[in-house]
Amino acid sequence: MCGIIGHTGQQATQQFLIEGLKRLEYRGYDSAGVAIQNGSIHLYKKKGNIAALEGYLPEKISGNCGIAHTRWATHGKPNNENAHPHMSYSKRLVMVHNGIIENYQMIKEDLMAKGITFSSDTDSEVLLNLIDWEFSLTHDLIKAIKNALTQVEGSYAIAIIKSDEPNTIYACRNGSPLILGEKDGEYFIASDALAINAFANQIYYPEDKDLAIVHASKGISFMDENGVPKKIESEELVQTNDHAQKKDFEDFMLKEIFEQPDSLRRSFIQPSASSDIDHLVEKVKACNRIIVLGCGTSWHAGLIGKYLIEKLARIPVEVEYASEFRYRHPVIQSSDLVLSISQSGETADTLAANRLARENNAMTLGICNVKRSTLTRETDYQLYLNAGAEIGVASTKAFTSQVSILTQLALFIAKERKEELSKNTMQALEALPAKIETVLKQSEAIKQLALKYALANHFLFIGRGVNYPVALEGALKLKEISYIHAEGYPGAEMKHGPIALIDYSFPTFAIVTDDENRSKMISNIKEIQARNGKVIALIQEGDNETAQVADEVISIPNTMDELIPILSTVPLQLFSYHAAKIRGCNVDQPRNLAKSVTVE
């Protein structure tokens, strides 16, 4: 959440900051601001998106050093005063911050007692003023930063410029992502590699509490939390610009839905090309239990993984919300595999839960879309989605790729036990991209269906077995981007409460795409219709029995029950997208949401 971009070098800074902010806007769009050093600091910030800030900025601000920020509000409402960058009480320091300072109120009260005033409601300004206070005592900014950071609790990624120190940026992180990059004498700081992908070709990954000093002519230097200089080797920054452009699509979300045939193909694991997979499978087979951690969409993927791993590989699997896992004092054993799923690899709750697993000597595996993200650096093994950058806040192609990776993992583990099943299922999985292309051709028909139901205030999604997590994911997508209240339920649980809500104005999406549960799902449909509820049924081609019962039908090509979740999800994504557009919602930037949840 929130986006940081900083630059110093020989070229004008403004162009880098604005372009970087645009690439980071999916991380937060409540407000944005820039600060450019040019003898003094020129500070501009504005409530709203990057376009609002651009309209507020002078056409050209001279200067070759600056920092910028796009905000997802935590402490303080979205407004101009709470927007970053913040200027300290002495006006000599300006800072941007991602993260949460948990003990900010106590520090603020102490600073106010010393006569320091505040102009915002943010915890970020408290940290900045604490650093400024420490500077007034030490007259050494590095010491001031380090002294201040020993007093705070929580997470942070910060970048600071000083009014009388041109061409220099100070940066530090703890628990929040921060990277540095360079190319041809231009130096960058960012919270996400995507922000500097077009500018840098080398990238640095500082560890928690490392301090970086970035100078236009001296380059980048690092020191550890004790002030001891350290060397961090740079790595080549792989270019991924194509995925960050809308191309001919109106929205990133629609583009990413239509990219799923290709993103699914890229998710296929080639054992000969992966040094990890064979060794990983041998290790996993020796585990007594698999614990899957995730949040939101990743948690739904984990639930599907549970069904498949238990069915195919016969290893017990528990699926946990990462945000709850570490707070309930879980029993973790060294014989467990803890599998963490995160599109960004920077989800704060998932990272914290993974660290708890490591502290208890469990083997850890990360399923992630971003190479060299924090999760991939803090797990024993990694499997990559290779889905390309996902800019739309509501995850689409990352979800289907996560399910693909989990399916393959289950197949690789089960291979010795069920050789023929593994072979047939893998062949069927490889056929899915073409079948998704068939589903995508129904986009206009699904739009017409959405026109009938887009004004509903509530929606129920039901499914059984492996389609229950699909129902959860379908409901989440609809509520995320259209703001229609939607709930996902197991079909069998409908009679234990949700059926009380059913009437003519409360439609239901019934996912009837697996053979095993068809007859029971048809009974659920009839129970809903007996109470005047309308039912849209998602079915496989040729399922005339369900088609004759449901009020509306969307059909998908036939495939194996184990692979149905990937195929079933795509029409639900399209339905949610079209419903949201009909309701006039911004599908790429839904209100109150951000792409990477990097705070608790």
Tens-place pLDDT, residues 402-445? 999 999 999 988 876 666 666 788 889 999 999 999 999 999 99
pLDDT confidence bin for 242, thresholds 50/70/90: low
The structure's pTM equals: 0.89
What is the C-alpha to C-alpha distance for residues 494 and 489, in angstroms, rounded to an integer? 7
- One fold for 3-239 and 436-600: no
Beta strands 552-556 and 535-540 are parallel
**Share of residues in the chain with pLDDT > 70 (%):** 96
CATH of domain 244-430: 3.40.50.10490
pLDDT confidence bin for 515, thresholds 50/70/90: confident
Beta strands 156-162 and 202-204 are unpaired
Instruction: Give the position of tokens 């996993």.
Output: 284
For residue 418, the model assigns a pLDDT of 64
* pLDDT higher than 80, residue 490: yes
2 noted as active-site residue: yes
Mean pLDDT calculated for residue range 14-25: 89
Domain 436-600: top CATH class: alpha beta
* pLDDT higher than 70, residue 276: no
CATH of domain 3-239: 3.60.20.10
For residue 409, the model assigns a pLDDT of 92
Catalytic residue, from 2, 65, 287, 295: name it. 2
Q: Which of 271, 264, 263, 148 is nearest to 211 (CA)?
A: 148
DSSP state of 114: T
Instruction: Give the position of tokens 């269906």.
Output: 449
172 noted as active-site residue: no
Mean pLDDT calculated for residue range 486-510: 91
Task: Please state at what angle helix 123-138 crosses helix 104-113, rounded to 10 degrees.
Answer: 50
233, 27 Cβ separation under 8 angstroms: no
Mean pLDDT of the chain: 91
For residue 192, the model assigns a pLDDT of 87
Q: Where are the domains of the chain?
A: 3-239, 244-430, 436-600
360, 333 Cβ separation under 8 angstroms: yes
**Share of residues in the chain with pLDDT > 90 (%):** 70
For residue 210, the model assigns a pLDDT of 95
* pLDDT higher than 60, residue 241: no
For residue 124, the model assigns a pLDDT of 93
